[in-house]
Amino acid sequence: MKYAPNLFQLIPDIFFDTLAYILPSSFLFVGALTLSSPLSGPLITAYLNLGAWFDRFIVVALGLGILYILGQLITHFSYEVILRPLRRLASLRNDEQFTKSDIEWTADYTFIRHTDATLGLEITKRYARTIMSRNNAFVSLLLMVTSMVGKQWIGVIVSGILFLLFLHEAYGEQVFFSRYLLEVTKELRNLEANVKTE
């Protein structure tokens, strides 16, 4: 008989979920401040001028909430701008595992979570990595476009290099995640079938 996970079992899920959203949005925030240097100084000064620690805590908490929401928006757009073109590239390379639909792999993921909690956490961690890599590639693309508009050519070069690196990482992470998910699902289904036959 399987039991619903308690709060302590959900903490790693919350951590990985937050990691996938907040790191890319923080990357965007720092990159935007770097490109718009006149704004960075007043923001830092205003934060340091906050007297009470409680005021600073409230600012940090609100900032994390905003970064989380921003990360969700980045994830939505990175799916369309980054993942879909990568899937087309994978289809040209006849990589069928990469091009599996979201419904198919979500079904496998749900099956693993209900079968083995430890493997479920491992899958969650690897999925968070794929989202983070994809989001970082999208953020690098945004920063590159912003640098081009502002004619900041050093920013164009740096963000362009980061975009290519994160794009390569996103493809590799997605391929590894798809293959890992497929193999784990096969193994668990075989074990389940053996148990039923005994």
Going from N- to C-terminal start, the domains of the chain cover 10-193
| Each residue's pLDDT tens digit, 23-63 | 899 888 888 888 776 665 566 666 556 667 666 777 778 88
CA dist., res. 181 & res. 176, Å (int): 8
Q: Which residues of 155-182 are buried (b: 16+ CB within 10 A; e: fewer)?
A: bbebbbebbeebbebbbebbbebbeebe
What are 71-113's pLDDT values in tens digits?
999 999 998 899 888 888 888 887 766 656 666 677 777 788 7
Asked if 185 and 163 touch (Cβ cutoff 8 Å), the reply is no
Give the residue, 144 or 9, on which the prediction is more confident. 144
For residues 178, 180, 182, 187, the Cα torsion angle rounded to the nearest 10 degrees is -170
